[in-house]
Amino acid sequence: MSNKIYEVLNWASSFLKENGKEENVAELLLRHHLNMTRAQLFAHLRDEIGDKIKQAFIADLQKHVYEHVPVQYLTGCEEFYGRSFLVNKEVLIPRPETEELVAGVLRRIKKLFPEHDMLDVVDVGTGSGAIAITLALENKALRVSTIDIAPESIQVAKENASRLGAEVEFICGDLLQPFIQTGRKVDIVVSNPPYIPESDIAFLSPVVKNHEPLRALVGGKDGLDFYRRFMSELPLVVKERALIAFEVGVGQAEAVAGLLRETFRGAMVEIVYDMNGKDRMVYAELLDKSWSKNV
């Protein structure tokens, strides 16, 4: 293998394929090490790579293949809703399904609150800040707060908000407790909580279970622990007219929808399937005061 970009790229793609990994990781990592866009990379395929860069690139490839380190942790970023977010081992890597959750929230805000000046939103369990920051940037009428139990995650989210120019309030706390303790009420609650059942962790890809933070993955014995906790806390935090939006694990939507219907009598609860045809999102629209009489 020479030091020409196209030869290094071909070798890396073959190496990944032989080891059962996605071939496109070669391009992502090489662009990262060369600090090039896709167009720049393909415009310079016949250029030579310096030995130092080549060695660093190969070292990262080996980490991905032999240690199963996610490519996003090697490059330090992931795309979400058209923006680049910093990620590290303290936060989950944002997924395309969560982009669908955000898009669904933005659509429902227009329908549920057609005439409004400012709406209060809280994103619970923010991780990298992808949900909160995207909502703040996509709709300037949203006053966005976010809660996470891990200071390390909040640090990453704060850095992302600063880089992307988003105004978001960051609070360290457990679920909705910081709002309950101060009597704060919100119009919208969004969360992508930990929802993987404990027994399923052993079967996850080593890329996930060996590197992404387990505190952001495991949702108790059946994966529903956090949703159950939400049902006792949400009524103390949401306004009479409100929107609740959850991402859920595959096969959990009916159970989560049932919890919401039981908690908020008369709410319009909707299960939405993702681009892969999996039950992935549950939305509850609270339209009147009737549910609040039981609180």
Query: Domain residues of the chain, as ranges?
Result: 5-67, 80-294
**73 annotated to a ligand binding site:** no
Phi-psi region of 225 (alpha: psi -120 to 50; beta: other; left: phi over 0): alpha
Cβ-proximal residues to 159 (8 Å cutoff; 6+ apart), any chain = 86
| 194 labelled binding-site residue | yes
Are the beta carbons of 85 and 129 closer than 8 angstroms? Answer: yes
Question: What DSSP string describes 93-132?
Answer: PP-HHHHHHHHHHHHHHHHH-SS-S-EEEEEES-TTSHHH
Residues of the chain with pLDDT under 70: 1, 195-220, 289-295
Cα 165 to chain centroid distance, Å, stands at 19
| Burial annotation 147-171 (CB, 10 A radius, 16+ → b, else e) | bbebeebbebbeebbeebebebebb
Cβ–Cβ < 8 Å for 86, 63: no
Does 195 carry a binding-site annotation?
yes
Tokens 């890809």 correspond to: 205
For residue 230, list its beta bridge partners: none
What CA–CA distances, in Å, run from 143 to 78, 115, 121, 171, 218? Answer: 25, 15, 6, 14, 29
Is 206 annotated in some ligand binding site? Answer: no
Question: How far is 220 from 42, CA to CA, in rounded Å?
Answer: 47
Q: What span, in angstroms and rounded, lies between the C-alpha atoms of 283 and 105?
A: 8
Give the pLDDT score at 4. 85
14 is in an annotated binding site: no
264: DSSP letter: S
Q: Is 76 annotated as a binding residue?
A: no
Superfamily of domain 80-294: Vaccinia Virus protein VP39 (3.40.50.150)
Nearest partner of 120 among 81, 173, 176, judged by Cα: 176
The per-residue pLDDT for 90 is 82
CA pair distance 173, 218, nearest whole angstrom: 18
The whole-number pLDDT of residue 204 equals 58
Task: Determine the pLDDT at residue 208.
Answer: 59
User: Rounded CA gap, 269 and 248, in Å?
Assistant: 14
3-state SS, residue 85: strand
